Structure 1
């Protein structure tokens, strides 16, 4: 490849020679920012050469993400590089995605070999299954953590993958989006409008980072059984019950400075279990007497509980109280005069 830019050639040599990780990071940042769009192929040559032979071992791995981003879909000329990368233990994890991007379904046999290789780390075998699942729209990753690094050996659906291979690598239908209530698109009441605003906020998060095998940050129509079980346990205010029924939070996490370590807003499927450690001790299987019987925990921020007081139901709503965990004694203070007020704060956080 002809090199025409002397400054770029000089930068390449600096990258090759640099031994300090911080300085190296700045050089790579400069390379990508200044030349990735104008000299993409030469930048890729610099990065792939370093990934193969560079002095700073952990950076050889880190650079794979930049390489994958710069390579175009089905750009087979980089297939050989990624075929090599999955044979190099430190590069295998991210090399899997590069191989899929450049060779597509032709990479399936090589990736299945990784899946079946018991000498590899579980995280690498899991990554191969996860990436295959996403590419082929097959549900090998269903109900498992989004990050394959958290999978266990027993989570690896190897028999399913092998059966899929024997049947010719058929493509699946992927995952349907969770079912949402129609009023989110056409809200009329104050509760509906607030839920709709929160949904738009969560939608921004889903657009950036969503995996429908294990969906997060959705407001969904609750399972009827969950609602019935909740109704058997407590008499909750109508506003909150309507929210749980029509807009049940599904793994909703609000990352905001307003809430210590972010806010987990509970859904109908988890509300009963989330009382554990507050009003109920799951180890001794006993009710905790110190906990106010009229407080139901509906959210927490770093384990600090936000509770709805079901003894003060008025106008179909009830106030929200907050406390700090780890202080030895629960000391509650009024946080919001109603659930709707609390929800408005969350939607605007």
Structure 2
């Protein structure tokens, strides 16, 4: 998983207020609940030592996702009185969480972006004429691209059109070209198709041959979710559960091959050493994530170590002890490394972490 979405967090110095809060709308009187969470977030940040301007900016941003229906959460990060990043979470945090530290507490957000599977979705529905509820006169088409699971709370634009039934064969060819372009543009792993069997058969048969092998059909219809959520959200959840993106699968296979030849790319010390040398192509972490000991960080992202003595060996004179997950993610983002999240029972790692080394 590429981590470019976190780039803005490290463009300015901290300290950072980090807030994770449940902003779900599927409860009675959600506005009252969110207002209470807003007050608690501000009070907690003040108690942690945040300046009033940063605490106020953070609290004011809580609940700004009021247009998003259903169950979800919010992550936000602020420094020096300004909110730097706000993102909706597909799943609310188990408990609301605040932190005030030199580095943003961004690992929980990164984990909610995984497995970051790019896809395209199409729903085809036979519809009747305006004068009749039974006569099938057209095909209603809805199309959307996204990256799972973040698309559930940040869906992209939905393309919707109605095609007369007699013109479907001709229009399906044009739509197949458009879908092929969207799939190539977004590097989609799969095209998820739902709806009328005849209509989807016509469409799929007009896709370029290599893309037909990436088609998955699912039951149901696009009206299974509320407005403002991803098209085919329940079907996508069932389809992508426990999967990795093709991009991450390729890198995980390379990591496994490296580990078989050189087992020194596994464990926290090996990961830190690779980040120090700028050799980390991707961090591989087990989920649930391990509780690592705090580590030392200098002024530059590659100045990362398990002890002060290690940093002094490199001539580093200014350093602070930091949360390991925040420091590791900071080093990964700023040195261009990626993140692969793999279930512990699928590939258990020493210390719950490993590193794919650059070739």
**TM, length-normalised to structure 2:** 0.21
Q: Which has the higher contact order (CA 8 A, sep 6+)?
A: 2
User: Greater strand percent: which structure?
Assistant: 2
User: Greater helix percent: which structure?
Assistant: 1
